[in-house]
């Protein structure tokens, strides 16, 4: 592959080195999804919680069965998820959430589907814990916000997004560290289990 | 396609008409999975519970992006599930289960993976409701049995299966009907919520 000097320069200027700490994933090359997966593995192996990401829904159209080999899917399409990406069990409670990254300093509602909004409302109605994790990648801050605020603004706000300031005031900053990478259950403790302690 | 008289006769003799009611799926052509999906849809639309089947986990290797068309997955493989197929929220509680069909009159432990057994144990440990739904297709009976019995025999029984008689005595028969098709939450009420009423 030809190494185009211009493209390299462009890539460098936008990601390195002046603002290397501004990007959430810049120094680690990891996504929010990977960080949450690492945290969930930590919670699972330390017997803290049982929370998984659901597999990506795929419509399988055609499968080949080669001799002596594993079945090979040769035609399939991504399906729109009807629920959120994550759910599980923590301290005897059902927990359900969606996680989104945004490069800009607000959270556009176009990032979340009506299906997911309505699913989160159902979780609240049936006595579960429902929230959204939002990573602002340009400033390396990740917030947990109760789903009710997102649902309310999704349906009633004049804006098509929720501002960073509003998320900061209604949500909680998730502590970042080594293990767990994103300690979002610390925030869940504070928001949903405070009266128990 | 050529219509082979012999094959037709063979098919008829094994499924129709003498024992047409003996096969769980014979008169409807539906699987246990489809019946549970129908029941979950009923529970969801009637605001009774929020329970979904997780998507089949697939390892996506290669995706084509044809112009003006949806992304097409052209190489992918089935992955072994690390958890159960179903989970959700009912009456404020986390519910988790696996569903299996068996043609013979016992439930072979080869039908369930060690990963799934260990997952069910974790759900119990963290205060969730965990069970297994077992359909005996040859007699059209479907049972719900608390996961603790399956886990115990999986690890401690001399047998490599649990007998029909044992499942019948430790589990509960799930009522079958029109809507919901398989009313397994009725059994969940009886087994896990009895003291609340």
For an interface test with A, the pick among B44, B59, B66, B88 (most A C-beta atoms closer than 10 Å) comes out as B88
Q: How far is B50 from A43, CA to CA, in rounded Å?
A: 24
Residue B9, pLDDT > 50, answer no
A29: confidence class by pLDDT, cuts 50, 70, 90? low
State whether residue B87 sits within 8 Å of chain A by CB.
yes
**Which whole number is the average pLDDT over A103-110?**
95
State whether residue B193 sits within 8 Å of chain A by CB.
no
State the nearest Cα–Cα gap between A174 and chain B, in angstroms: 23
Q: How far is B145 from B106, CA to CA, in rounded Å?
A: 13
Residue of chain B with shortest Cα separation from A128: B92
Strands A72-78 vs A58-64: parallel, antiparallel or unpaired: antiparallel
CA B63, distance to chain mean position in Å, is 31
For an interface test with B, the pick among A73, A129, A185 (most B C-beta atoms closer than 10 Å) comes out as A73
State whether residue B175 sits within 8 Å of chain A by CB.
no
List pLDDT tens digits, range B161-171.
999 999 999 99
Half-sphere exposure of A98 (CA within 13 A, CB side): 24
List pLDDT tens digits, range B20-74.
334 454 445 579 999 999 999 999 999 999 999 999 999 999 999 988 888 999 9
Tell me the residues of chain A between 24 and 53 that have a Cβ less than 8 Å away from chain B.
Answer: 44, 47, 49-50, 52
A133 phi/psi in degrees, rounded to 5: -100, 125
**CB-based contact A50 B127, cutoff 8 Å:** no
Q: Given this model, what pLDDT does residue B19 score? A: 36
What DSSP character marks residue A4?
-
For an interface test with B, the pick among A54, A60, A126, A185 (most B C-beta atoms closer than 10 Å) comes out as A126
Q: DSSP letter string over A78-147?
A: E---SS-SEEEEETTEEEEEEEEEESSSEEEGGGS-HHHHHHHHHHHHTT-EEEEEEEETTTTEEEEEEH
- CB count within 10 Å of CB B169 equals 10
State the nearest Cα–Cα gap between B16 and chain A, in angstroms: 31
State the nearest Cα–Cα gap between A21 and chain B, in angstroms: 32
State whether residue B71 sits within 8 Å of chain A by CB.
yes
State whether residue A91 sits within 8 Å of chain B by CB.
yes
Half-sphere exposure of B32 (CA within 13 A, CB side): 24
- Which one is the CATH code of A24-196: 3.30.365.10, 1.20.1250.20, 3.40.1350.10, 3.40.228.10? 3.40.1350.10
Bin B43: left if φ > 0, else alpha if -120 < ψ < 50, else beta.
alpha
Residue of chain A with shortest Cα separation from B124: A92
For an interface test with A, the pick among B57, B73, B93, B128 (most A C-beta atoms closer than 10 Å) comes out as B73
User: ipTM for the complex?
Assistant: 0.83
State whether residue B178 sits within 8 Å of chain A by CB.
no
What DSSP character marks residue B57?
P
Q: DSSP letter string over A52-79?
A: EEPPPPEEEEEEE--TTS--EEEEEEE-
Q: Return the closest-CA partner of residue A39 out of A123, A82, A97, A80.
A: A97
State the nearest Cα–Cα gap between B52 and chain A, in angstroms: 9
Residue B175, pLDDT > 80, answer yes
Q: Which CATH architecture describes the domain B22-54+81-192?
A: 3-Layer(aba) Sandwich (3.40)
B197: confidence class by pLDDT, cuts 50, 70, 90? low
């Amino acid at each position: 592959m030809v190494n185009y000097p211009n493209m390299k320069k462009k890539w460098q200027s936008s990601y390195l080195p002046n603002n290397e700490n501004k990007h959430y994933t810049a120094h680690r090359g990891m996504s929010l999804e990977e960080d949450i997966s690492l945290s969930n593995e930590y919670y699972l192996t330390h017997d803290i919680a049982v929370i998984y990401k659901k597999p990506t829904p795929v419509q399988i159209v055609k499968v080949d069965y080669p001799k002596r080999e594993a079945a090979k899917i040769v035609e399939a399409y991504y399906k729109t998820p009807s629920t959120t990406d994550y759910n599980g069990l923590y301290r005897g409670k059902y927990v359900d959430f969606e996680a989104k990254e945004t490069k800009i300093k607000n959270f556009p509602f176009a990032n979340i589907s009506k299906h997911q909004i309505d699913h989160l409302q159902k979780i609240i109605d049936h006595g579960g814990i429902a929230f959204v994790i939002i990573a602002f990648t340009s400033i390396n801050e990740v917030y947990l916000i109760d789903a009710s605020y997102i649902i309310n603004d999704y349906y009633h706000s004049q804006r098509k997004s929720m501002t960073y300031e509003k998320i900061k005031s209604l949500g909680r900053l998730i502590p970042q560290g080594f293990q767990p990478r994103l300690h979002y259950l610390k925030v869940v403790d504070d928001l949903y289990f405070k009266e128990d302690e």
